[in-house]
Amino acid sequence: MPLEELASVVNARAQEAARFLPVVRRLPLVLVEGRGARVRDAEGREYVDLTGGWGVTAIGHSHPALVEAICRQAGRLMQTTNLFYTRSQLDLLERISPLLPAGLTRSFFVSSGAEAMDGAIKLAHRATGRVRYVSTTNSFHGRTLGALRIIGQAKHRDPYRALLAEACTVPFGDLAAARAAIDEATAAFVVEPIQGEGGVNVPPDGYLRGLLEICRAKGALLILDEIQTGVGRTGTLFACQHEGVTPDVMTLGKGLGGGFPIAGFFCTDAVAKTVSLGDHGGTYAGNPLACAAADAVLGVVTEEKLSERAAELGGRVMDRLRRFMTENDSRVDDVRGRGLLVGMSLTDAERAATLSLRAAEAGVLLNVTAGRVMRLFPALNIPEDDLWPALEKVLTLV
């Protein structure tokens, strides 16, 4: 039966149409359950989730260690104020600090990626006293006003242009353009190590190192947005580790909580020295439940060596997709990515526009971004028995 006709979908659609802010277009599925790399809808149909809950469920849906950590913490202490220390935030600090790129010594936890970007932007202003930011075309950094200030996608920025400072964006991956744009008034260059939302765009080798050198020469900070690429996704715990680069500020989100809303920003001692008491905060900043979740996720990612797995398995996925491209060069014009953040660019934008729905009807959830790029970012521990049949199914639909 086509998904459109399912009773739960018809009801959900009517309910939302009456009550929900009309800002989201949804696929016609009502999801009720997730386990590992699979989710189930209200009609009992099962799907292999190649979106990983938008790159979030790094250790799979409802991993027992994550569920156990959240339940344990929920039974102890769910919320307090920033007036007090909490054991779970201290535990998370102990867990994450040795894992961070050497030199990032200070952490702050918030609830969403965009909030983490706001924090990073504030830090760069504090550290430099400057107000100009340079970012990259097609970048995505979230939807708060702070994040929109640096976003490189007009469709998100333009409706709020009147509220935002003038933006400066340069082509992603282009060091010469970055060099020309970063000046003595620049607070920071802000960039994703690999653009996710923008189409899984991988920069040339040496890009991040080159950016760091340019920023150093101009007294600007380098902010790396690892919200999508962090926590093992690209085959190292953080994507900047491929180049051995430590930024001044790094942000994490998505996979950090494995499904529980937590994000963070991390900086060097030199940057941390420039803030004052009260400069930042938040009711849910460092929330005990969120910290317990992140602590559990990082435990699983490191103990089960999921970064290494992402590198190895992602390499084989990319090999398979490249072989498909060679055999179907009229349908696919590029395959790119790193680890388990993989993009395949389709030649036919109309087919790309319906691919997610057709894949869902075949029992696979996937995302198409930047118009015609099929983006795969499944759980880092997705069983191969789920992954390969799902991928083969999708390839028949491309």
Ligand X SMILES: Cc1ncc(COP(=O)(O)O)c(C=O)c1O
By CB under 6 A, tell whether 141 contacts ligand X: yes
Structure tokens, 232: 């093992």
Q: Which residue number, 47 or 140, has a Cβ lying nearer to ligand X?
A: 140
Which of 317, 306, 198, 190 lies closest to 249 in space, CA to CA?
190
The 3-state DSSP class for residue 119 equals helix
CA terminus-to-terminus distance, the chain? 21
Nearest distance from C-beta of residue 303 to ligand X, angstroms: 25
164 to 193: interface string for ligand X, x by CB under 6 A: ----------------------------x-
Minimum CB–partner distance for residue 229 and ligand X (Å):
7
Report CA torsion sign: 142, 223, 279, 295.
positive
For residue 364, how far is the Cα from the chain centroid?
20
The answer to whether 134 and 169 are in contact (CB under 8 A) is yes
Q: Which of 113, 255, 288, 314 is close enough to bind ligand X by CB under 6 A?
A: 113
Active site residue 238: no
Q: What's phi and psi for 162, nearest 5 deg?
A: -60, -25
Which residue lies nearer to ligand X by CB, 36 or 55? 55
Piece in contact with ligand X (CB under 6 A), picked from 13-21, 32-40, 122-130, 135-143: 135-143
Choose between 41 and 197: whose C-beta lies nearer to ligand X: 197
CB atoms closer than 10 angstroms to residue 362 = 14
Give me the least distance between CB of 256 and ligand X, in Å please.
10
Tell me if residue 254 is catalytic. yes
Region of 223-231, 267-275, 297-305, 372-380 interacting with ligand X (CB under 6 A): 223-231
Amino acid at 54: W
Nearer to ligand X, 112 or 324 (CB): 112
Q: CA 202, CA 375: separation in Å to the nearest integer?
A: 13
From candidates 41, 197, 248, 295, binder to ligand X by CB under 6 A: 197
Cα–Cα distance, 119 to 193 (Å, whole number): 19
Residues taking part in catalysis: 140, 225, 254
Task: Give the interface with ligand X as residue ranges (CB under 6 A).
Answer: 112-114, 117, 140-142, 192, 196-197, 225, 227-228, 253
